[in-house]
Structure formats: structure tokens, C-alpha cells
Amino acid sequence: MKQKLIVLYGGRSAEKEVSVLSAKNVISATNKEKFEIIPYFISDNGDFYRVTDLSELMTNQTRDENFKIMPGDIYEDKAVVLPILHGPMGEDGTIQGFLEILHMPYVGPSVLSASSTMDKLLAKLVFTSLNIPQVPYVTALAGENEWQIIEEVAAKLKFPVFVKPSNMGSSVGISKAENVAELNLALTEAFKFDSRVVVEQGVVNAREIECAVLGNGNEVKAAFPGEVIKDVDFYDYKSKYLDNRIEMAIPADISEKLVHQIRTYAIKAYKAVNGTGMSRCDFFLDNENHLYLNEINSIPGFTQWSMYPLLWDNMGLKYPELIEKLVELAQSAFIIRE
Ligand code: ATP
Ligand code: MG
Ligand code: MG
Ligand code: MG
């Protein structure tokens, strides 16, 4: 009998388009001999829709009200769920909590690993407590006096700085600021997306090294890291998804010592947040070979040209087998929670 696999995609976050791309790739790569794929589309207002056409996935533009369901109806499929939803309401523990309540096995992060890594400010506190190096930063909360934030930035950091909504991804809402005027604008932009904002020391000419982690509990593996080679100075949404201007070096051309250090930090951070299923741990490397952990993405991009599946491919685990492995991990995490 085929294993039923629900693919949840779309969603309410600003990363919904990336989710559609990831879902298309997951669906086309999944072994159909082993899995019966049941996609559900979550619209930008949070409604759930049954999707019948696997080749032409429903989107916000093509959604059909006749296929609208109650979210809890997905329970009836008795399936493993693969939430391929990036950003808030997908990668932050909310959908995971919903699936826990429905009592369904699901692929990827647990409530804790999703929520603790999605919030960049909280994740930084965890990394600090683990003695994992990261860039200096300033916390900015909505309602705080903007001049006080700027003063703190001036005292603690040097321009350029990166200003980020604490809960977001795909570079949405992130700006690089070279001076106080730009910092002001960057804060206003970031606060459009979240009430919690991070102002980070910019790493000049940062190399971006990413490490894929796979596993549950104590049985966790990290792949050889890869490098994102940018011809832009900042890997923003446009360069990530629209311009296709990203080249990847897999494995990254770095010393064995750094490879070891990166894999060790990635696994340490992953275990600390109850990493479940998968994560992509992103690092910066500066001109002097100093390493900084930037963030953990608990539902990384899953398009064919996304780093996460490519890093496993390099380890000999092909995309369809990676999906099978993730489903197995979902089932074993479910049994442990029972
Ligand atoms: P993702 O799509 O990986 O989830 P994100 O939206 O969570 O991304 P970050 O990875 O934190 O955001 O930042 C996006 C990009 O901005 C980085 O890949 C990098 O190019 C640049 N960047 C962010 N912070 C810094 C920094 N402190 N120094 C230098 N570059 C930075
Ligand atoms: Mg991220
Ligand atoms: Mg992300
Ligand atoms: Mg990132």
C-alpha cells in the first residue's frame, strides 16, 4: 500500500510564493510508486483548499471556492503531513502545533525547534548560551524610542549594519544600512513585518556557508557545507528567487578545520532547540576566516536548485530518497511523542 503524504503549501506569510515553488519540486520529485501525494493549498487569508491537479498547483490567483475545506478535515486522510511552508505561520511552530492537536505525524521541525529558530532574537540568545560565535547585534522593539535604538547601534556596532524583522525569511523586510539616515528607513521597513527587529553588525565581504542537518533527537547528521557565491553584495529576495543569480559551490572550498567547526556548531545548535527532521544552518565567514552562525532555517527552500537538497545530494542522498528519509523521521518522531 502506498504511504499517503499530504503536502501543505502556500500560506499566509510573505514567503508564500517560495512555498509554491518548493511544493512543486517536492511533488514532482517524490517517488509516486511509494507515495500517494495529497496537496492542500493554504491561501493568503489562511483558508485550506483541496488540490486535485498535481501538475498545475492551485495558487491565490486560481483558487476555487468549491474545493475549500475546514482545516481539521485533513485528519481524515490518515496521512503523514509535509508542511512546506516558509516563514511565519509555517516555520514558526503554529502549523506544527495544529498538527500535534490533530495527532498527525509531520515532516520537519517540532513546535519548539520551529518557534525557537524562527525568531532571530530568541535564536541569538540560544546561540550565545551555547558559546557559538555570532555577530554583535542590537534588539529593537516596536514602541521603543527610535533615537535610543540608533544611539545603542552607534555605541555597539559599526556601519554597515543589517536590519531584519525577527520573524521572517527569504530576506523579506531586510535592509543593509550604511548610515543613520538609512538605518532610520531600514527600521521603518523591518517594523512593517514584525514588532521585533534585529540590528546586526554587517560582515564586510561575508562568504555565506550553509550546512544541512538531518535527524531527530540524538541521531543527527550534518552534510558537508556549501557556499552561496553571490555576485550581489546582499543576498536579497530578488537575487534569491527572481534573478536566478545564485551560484553554489558544493562542497564549499574551505579548510577541513572550518568544515569540522561548522558541522559541530550546526549539530550543537540543532540539538539544543530539539531539532527535528531537518534544518539549514547558515554561517558567515569574514576576511580573516572568523566564523559566525547567522541563523537556522527549519524549513529550508526545497526547489531543485535550493541548497538543502543539493547538500544531501552531494552526500549521496538523492532528492527522492531525502523525502523518504524525512517521512521516516516524521513517523519516528510521532511514535516518540505518543
Ligand atoms: P533565509 O531566506 O535564508 O531564511 P532570512 O530572511 O532569514 O533568509 P538572513 O539570512 O538573516 O535572512 O539575511 C539575508 C541575507 O542578507 C544573507 O543571506 C546575507 O546575504 C545578508 N546578511 C544578513 N545579515 C548579514 C550580516 N550581518 N552581514 C553581512 N550580510 C548579511
Ligand atoms: Mg532565514
Ligand atoms: Mg528561511
Ligand atoms: Mg538566511
CATH number of the domain residue 220 falls in? 3.30.470.20
3-state secondary structure of 310: helix
* Domain count along the chain: 3
Instruction: Answer whether residue 238 shows pLDDT above 80.
Output: no
CA-proximal residue: ligand 1, atom 13 (nearest): 171
| 325 in the same domain as 227 | yes
C-alpha cell recorded at residue 322: 531525502
In this prediction, residue 235 has a pLDDT band, given cuts at 50, 70 and 90, of confident
| 126 in the same domain as 61 | no
H helix or E strand, kind and range, residue 176? strand 175-177
Ligand 2 centroid vs 282 CA: distance in angstroms? 8
Residue 180 falls within a domain, yes or no?
Answer: yes
| 97 in the same domain as 74 | yes
pLDDT of residue 201: 98
> Is the pLDDT higher at 303 or at 215?
215
Mutate to test the pocket of ligand 1, among 15, 162, 237 (most ligand atoms within 8 A of CB): 162
3-state secondary structure of 18: helix
C-alpha cell recorded at residue 161: 549594519
Residue 112 falls within a domain, yes or no?
Answer: no
Range(s) of the domain holding residue 159: 137-201
In this prediction, residue 210 has a pLDDT band, given cuts at 50, 70 and 90, of very high
Residue 97 falls within a domain, yes or no?
Answer: yes
pLDDT of residue 265: 98
Residue 13 falls within a domain, yes or no?
Answer: yes
Q: State whether the beta carbon of 15 lies less than 6 angstroms from ligand 1.
A: no
Measured from the CA of 169, which atom of ligand 1 is nearest?
6
Burial of 289 by CB count in 10 Å (0-12 exposed, 13-18 middle, 19+ buried)? exposed
3-state secondary structure of 73: helix
| 275 in the same domain as 187 | no
Instruction: Answer whether residue 267 shows pLDDT above 80.
Output: yes
Residue 247 falls within a domain, yes or no?
Answer: yes
Residue 111 falls within a domain, yes or no?
Answer: no
Instruction: Answer whether residue 97 shows pLDDT above 90.
Output: yes
Ligand 2 centroid vs 32 CA: distance in angstroms? 31
Averaged pLDDT for residues 242-264: 91
In this prediction, residue 244 has a pLDDT band, given cuts at 50, 70 and 90, of low
What is the ipTM score, two decimals?
Answer: 0.98
The CATH number given to whatever domain includes residue 174 is 3.30.1490.20
H helix or E strand, kind and range, residue 19? helix 16-29
pLDDT of residue 164: 97
| 219 in the same domain as 302 | yes
Measured from the CA of 86, which atom of ligand 1 is nearest?
4
Averaged pLDDT for residues 114-127: 97
Q: What is the SS3 string spanning 83-147?
A: ECCCCCCCCCCHHHHHHHHHCCCECCCCHHHHHHHHEHHHHHHHHHHCCCCCCCEEEEECCCCHH
The distance from CA 185 to its chain's CA centroid, rounded to whole angstroms, is 26
Mutate to test the pocket of ligand 1, among 229, 234, 243, 305 (most ligand atoms within 8 A of CB): 234
| 86 in the same domain as 157 | no
| 276 in the same domain as 143 | no
Q: Is 68 left (phi over 0), alpha (psi -120 to 50) or beta?
A: beta
